Amino acid sequence: MLQMKLHYQSTGQGRALVILHGLFGSGDNWKGFAKSLENSARVIMVDIRNHGRSPHSSEQNYQLMADDLAELCQDLNLDSIDLIGHSVGGKMAMAFSESYPQLLNKLMVVDIAPRQYHDRHGKDFNALLAVDLSAYTRRSEVDKVLQFSIPIKTIRQFLLMNLMVDDGKLTWRLNLPALSEHYPELLQAVCQTSHIDIPTCFIRGGLSDYLNDTDEELISQIFSQSQIITIEQANHWVHAEQPQEFIKNVRVFFNYD
């Protein structure tokens, strides 16, 4: 197994609940959620490879990402985990359930299906890679440059959370070149020939088109013990847009009450 020592943060006591963020994110995105559950579980927020404070690698695919999580479980002496994955993290979680079912108690997948997706972020990669960071000293300056290629302010602000100052110079915490190169692999389907009988809950946003009605049959074919819950008035970032409703469903599904 490759040595990919993923960065993680942990809070609370009890059964291990591992959180996997989506593309361009980090474990930091889930701190508020983790705090709300720290009396019910040991919440472990992971930075997936090439994101956050985790190591950079020239390779990126779902099998490697599943192996990364298995290595973390081994390092933390976790023989059974509950697992939540959002978006790309959701596909990583599904790949983990396929390769390491013996390590998984229950699985929650947030607003993503196991199918192939079309390119949604290629333009974002191009915009970020086109910025010459050596020409700027402040995040606000980069924000101004990006407002033409990424006009939606909330998306820019989310992406710019990955911009850090290192030795007085701006740098991306993300491994943008590797993620851009392997982005087509992150769009690929997972678990297509598998039959997984782990209790699984898919949470989708009522305003999101990432997980639609036509995905239900595919999900039921692969995940025999699955349910799909729609949280209305939420888009792709279900946990951030409707946090109380999301947490309520997490508590019920993982039996934290």
Q: What angle do CA 143, 175, 118 make, to 5 degrees?
A: 80
C-alpha torsion angle, residues 7, 13, 15, 17 (rounded to 10) = -40
Of 86, 121, 182, 236, which one is the catalytic site residue? 236
Q: How confident is the model over 144-192, as pLDDT tens digits? A: 999 999 999 999 999 999 999 888 899 999 999 999 999 999 999 999 9
Segments making up each domain of the chain, as ranges: 8-118+189-253, 122-181
- Ramachandran assignment for 213, one of left (phi > 0), alpha (psi -120 to 50 degrees), beta (any other): alpha
Is the pLDDT at 1 greater than 60, yes or no?
no
Interatomic CA distance for residues 80 and 213, integer angstroms: 31
Q: Which of 112, 118, 109, 129 is nearest to 179 (CA)?
A: 129
Please confirm, yes or no, whether 182 is among the known catalytic residues: no
Residue 143 clears pLDDT 50, i.e. is over it: yes
Average pLDDT of span 203-227: 96
Q: Are 25 and 151 in contact (CB under 8 A)?
A: no
Does the domain at 8-118+189-253 match CATH 3.30.450.20? Answer given as no
Q: Of 54, 87, 97, 180, which is the active-site residue?
A: 87
Is the Cβ–Cβ distance between 162 and 172 less than 8 Å?
Answer: yes
pLDDT interval class at 2 (50, 70, 90)? low
Alpha-carbon distance of 244 to 218, in angstroms, equals 29
Closest CA to 62 of 108, 35, 23: 23
| Pair type for strands 226-231 and 8-11 | unpaired
pLDDT tens per residue, range 82-99: 999 999 999 999 999 999
Confirm whether 54 is a catalytic residue: no
